[in-house]
Structure formats: C-alpha cells, structure tokens
Amino acid sequence: MTAPAAPTTPSLRPAGHPGSPDLLRSVFRRHAAGVAVITAETCGRPAGFTATSLNSVSADPPLLSFTIGTGSSSWPAVRDSDHLGVHILGEHQRELAGLFARSGADRFGTSTGWSTGPHGVPVLDDVLAWLVCRVVARVPAGEHRVIIAEAVAGDPAGEGRPLLYHQGRFNALRD
C-alpha cells in the first residue's frame, strides 16, 4: 500500500519572482471592491481620487482606512489636509468614478456636482453615502500611504446600489 499523494499547492509565483507585484495584481483582480471617491481641500482648491481600498477599521472610535500612492496628483492635498471626504459611489456613477480615476482630468469641473461640506471638505452630490473624516495617521507602506481617519460627520441616506470594481472595470451588482 502506498501513502496518499500530498495535496498540491498552487504556485505562488506566476511569471515573476516571490512577492511579485504581478501576483498581487492577479489575485486582487478577482476581489470585488466597493468604489469610493476621496476628496480634500488644499490652498482653496478641491482635490480628489477614486479609491477601491476603503476599509472599516473600528466602530468605537469610528475609524476607516484607505491607501493613496505618493505619486498621485491628489497626494499633496491628502498629505496636507486635516479633514477628508469619503464618498460611497452608486452604480449610476461609473462615469464619476472614471473621472476621478483619470490622471489630468478636471475632476471638479462643471459636470461634477459638489458643495463645500463640514471642515471645508468638498462633498459630492448624489452619492450613496458620505463622511467627513479627521485624519489620525498616515502610515508609510511602500510607495503608498495608508490613511487612517475618524468619521466626524456624514450622511448615509443616499439611494441606489453600490458601484463595484472587479477585473479592472467598474461593475454593478447582479441579482
């Protein structure tokens, strides 16, 4: 009688080396994530970007986190702001998500509905929910920063279904 074969494990290195960015990207393309837009105000100008890295951290105190690349055009505003806006986008806002994800776009042009909210933070119109948060930490993580922020104001009363990011595209939930 022979011993049963050991279970096989998938390779941890597709075409790259251990710890390959390609491996991480390949795995996370399969992970559906909610889509948010983060906004800030600096020097009298609004700034913002699309984020799919938004996470709830703690209910008490009410903390959340997201990441931003230090090469992002929005990084200086996030770096220098005490308060930020966090907006949960609905499936009807694919174009808005794309606008805030596109480098060099006029994100706060005439097609973007927004107003100045608490603590001078830009608050987008017609989102599923929004928060204004006080930044409590900016943690270095490679070429990114993990931002940890405490919710201080907001509105969860928007209507609709959430926008998701999956396989490199913005998608709607399916029934």
- CATH number, position 97: 2.30.110.10
pLDDT bucket at 71, cuts 50 / 70 / 90: very high
Q: Is residue 74 part of a domain?
A: yes
Q: What are phi and psi of 100, to 5 degrees?
A: -75, -15
pLDDT bucket at 13, cuts 50 / 70 / 90: very low
Cα distances from 40 to residues 11, 82, 161, 164, in angstroms, run 42, 9, 25, 22
Q: Is residue 3 part of a domain?
A: no
Q: Is residue 38 part of a domain?
A: yes
Token pair belonging to 14: 């597709």
Q: Is residue 14 part of a domain?
A: no
Rounded CA-CA distance 97/103 in Å is 12
Q: Is residue 145 part of a domain?
A: yes
pLDDT at 76 over 90: yes
For the chain, what is the domain count? 1
pLDDT bucket at 23, cuts 50 / 70 / 90: confident
Rounded CA-CA distance 139/111 in Å is 34
Report which of residues 92 and 13 the model is more confident about.
92
Q: Is residue 94 part of a domain?
A: yes
Rounded CA-CA distance 146/53 in Å is 9
pLDDT for the residue numbered 11: 47
Q: Is residue 59 part of a domain?
A: yes
- Whole-number average pLDDT of the chain: 90
| Structural domain boundaries enclosing 119 | 21-166
Count of other CB atoms within 10 angstroms of residue 129: 16
Q: Is residue 72 part of a domain?
A: yes
